[in-house]
Amino acid sequence: MSVTISKARESLFTLVDAAEKGEKVEFTHKGTRFFIVAETKPSKLSRLKPMPILAPGTTIEDFDQATKDMQAETLAAWERNNG
C-alpha cells in the first residue's frame, strides 16, 4: 500500500495496523520513500480465525450434557466388560 504523506498523516493508525498484519506500507515525502514496518513479523497462525465447532443451534450446555452422557455410557460399558 503506497500513500502520500498527507494521507499517511490522516490515517497513521490504520497504516500501522496494516503494517502490523504484515502488509507492505509506504509513503513518499519530497521524493523519498518511507516504509512502516513492524519490528517483529506476525506469526502466520495469528491470522487464523476461530472456527465454530458446535452445530448451529447447539449451546455449550447441550455439549456439556452430551459429554457427561458419553462418559457415563463409556464407564458403564467398561464395567460390564471388565467387572
pLDDT digits (tens, 9 = 90+) for 40-76: 776 778 778 888 788 888 888 999 999 999 999 999 9
16-44 per-position pLDDT tens digit: 888 888 888 888 888 888 888 887 776 77
Q: What's residue 68's pLDDT? A: 96
Domain residue limits at 80? 53-83
Q: How many domains is the chain built from?
A: 2
- How is the beta sheet containing 25-29 ordered, strand by strand? 2-4, 25-29, 32-36
- Same domain as 34, residue 6: yes
Give domain status of residue 60, yes or no. yes
Does the pTM surpass 0.75? The reply is no
Task: Round to whole Å and give the CA distance between 54 and 66.
Answer: 12
Same domain assignment for residues 6 and 36: yes
User: Does one domain contain both 35 and 9?
Assistant: yes
